[in-house]
Amino acid sequence: MPEHVRNEIHAGFIPLIDCAPLVIAAEQGFDAQFGFQLRLYREVSWANIRDKIDVGAYDCAHMLAPMPIATALGLGRTTAPIIVPMALNLNGNAITVSAAIFEEMLAADPEATRAGGMNAVQALKRVVDAHAKSGMAPLTLGMVFPFSSHNYDMRYWLAAGGIDPDNDVNLIVIPPPLTAENLRSGRIDGFCAGEPWNSVAVSQGAGRIVATKSQLWSRSPEKVLGVRAAWAEQNPQLLDALIKAIIKAGQWLEDPRNCDQAADILSKPQWVGTTRDIIRNVLSGTLERGGRLAVNKDPELVLFHSHAANFPWRSHALWILSQMIRWGQVREPFDLNAVVEEVYRPEYYRKAAAALGISVPHENMKREGDYAVTETASSAAKRGQSFFGSDHFDPLHVLNYLEQQKIRSPSIDLTRFKGLNASH
């Protein structure tokens, strides 16, 4: 366990593009600007992050958005309460299939496969059905952690195409840095992970990217700053300084003039440790999909600051809870709003952002799929926001939303939730 020194903050991270706000805060001196030293520790798996923050080895961590919520519900092995004072990014994931499965998808439905996103799953459905009809084993698909947006994004995508993720395919956990390797070896037929590991699989000739997170749900939740609640209570000034440093790092990352330098930094072995060109492509919104697919140009491939990317939306947390219920991870009813209010703490972000002169949304929730809220506090800037095709999510009616999902496998009757959640 690292020794703690006054004004030092110890944080764990996984080698992914979206660890960048923490890395840049340390490398570019934003931590020193706000009077502390950020010490970062590279981990290979989310289980390691979970365990080390639980025992107090880390004060905070680069964390999957569902992990603090799972802790609050007593899921998994963690017991130390974790809060989310800010998000680290929006978007940044993708779904990749093996070259062989891609060719089968292309043969089954070339138009849907080339279109990608929510269209591509229609082609995969034909492949899954063909395998079942011929008596072949179900496809094995990897995701990075049970309590992850990758798991829920993959499941939602599959179910939208008529593929039951619990019965028609085999889902297994693969740590992010090992996804490309497992695809290349043939252990898995596809995976959902954060960048750069989809691009690494493509560069090795093993994978083809068939959907990006921004295609499925634009400006959607991904990584958060997970902070031990006890540490936050004991160190409010340090936490405020950390949030400010991360905000500054996110702004720096989104400045196109810094793209080359950011790629140089992140490609170092102690950080992400993959090729500079891959990292630069991702940061600039360029995604090589592989095979005969067109290059994907998406300025919102990953967002670190703009469009309220750092705001901890409670509507995001409620959607995460809805997926935990939908896919049977929750076995007892609970008060949805109480859990969200305990974990997602926008007051911390509002305070730090205000001190930096950054406007933030007045509201804590928004209807996902109808509009996106920018960093403008006075009004919600509305524009089309994709949400898994034509669907949407109303955070005020979570249970009604769940009842509308045709494919689901809850471990608890939804009616048991209604007594504790009359407003939903």
Locate all alpha helices (DSSP H) within 186-313, ordered by sequence: 197-203, 213-216, 229-234, 236-254, 259-266, 276-283
Per-residue pLDDT for 391 more than 80?
no
Strand extents, DSSP E, 99-177 = 140-143, 170-173
Query: What percentage of the chain reaches a pLDDT higher than 90?
Result: 88
Per-residue pLDDT tens digits for 238-257: 999 999 999 999 999 999 99
In this structure, is residue 137 part of a structural domain?
A: yes
323-367, pLDDT tens digit by residue?
999 999 999 999 999 999 999 999 999 999 999 999 999 999 999
- Is the residue at 390 inside a domain? no
Residue 291: CATH number of its domain = 3.40.190.10
CA angle 184, 188, 193 (to 5 degrees): 85
Inside any domain, residue 308: no
> Which is nearest to 179 in space by CA: 221, 150, 153?
150
Does residue 231 lie in a domain region?
Answer: no
Q: Tens digit of pLDDT for each residue in 161-191?
A: 999 999 999 999 999 999 999 999 999 999 9
Rounded (10°) angle between helices 149-160 and 314-326: 60
Which tokens in the block code for residue 25?
Answer: 């805060």
Residue 239 lies in a domain: no
Q: Which residue range is the domain that position 149 belongs to?
A: 93-219+286-297
- Would you say residue 378 has pLDDT above 50? no
Count of structural domains, the chain: 1
* Percent of the chain topping pLDDT 70: 95
Q: How far apart are CA 252 and CA 257, in angstroms?
A: 9
Q: How much is the pLDDT for 4?
A: 60
> 84: closest CA among 92, 93, 94, 72?
72
- 149 occurs within a structural domain: yes
Residue pair 315/368 in contact by the 8 Å Cβ criterion: yes
Banded model confidence at residue 14, pLDDT cuts 50, 70, 90: very high
**Hey, what amino acid is at 307?**
H
- Whether the per-residue pLDDT at 374 is higher than 50: the answer is no
What's the CA gap between 155 and 166, in Å, rounded? Answer: 9
Output the CA–CA distances (angstroms, integers) from residue 221 to 64, 92, 224, 328, in the order listed: 9, 9, 8, 21
176 domain-assigned: yes
By CB atoms closer than 10 A (0-12, 13-18, 19+), residue 332 is exposed
Report whether pLDDT(375) > 50: no
Is residue 139 in a domain? yes
Q: Are 416 and 331 in contact (CB under 8 A)?
A: no
The 3-state DSSP class for residue 198 equals helix
Mean pLDDT on 305-312: 97
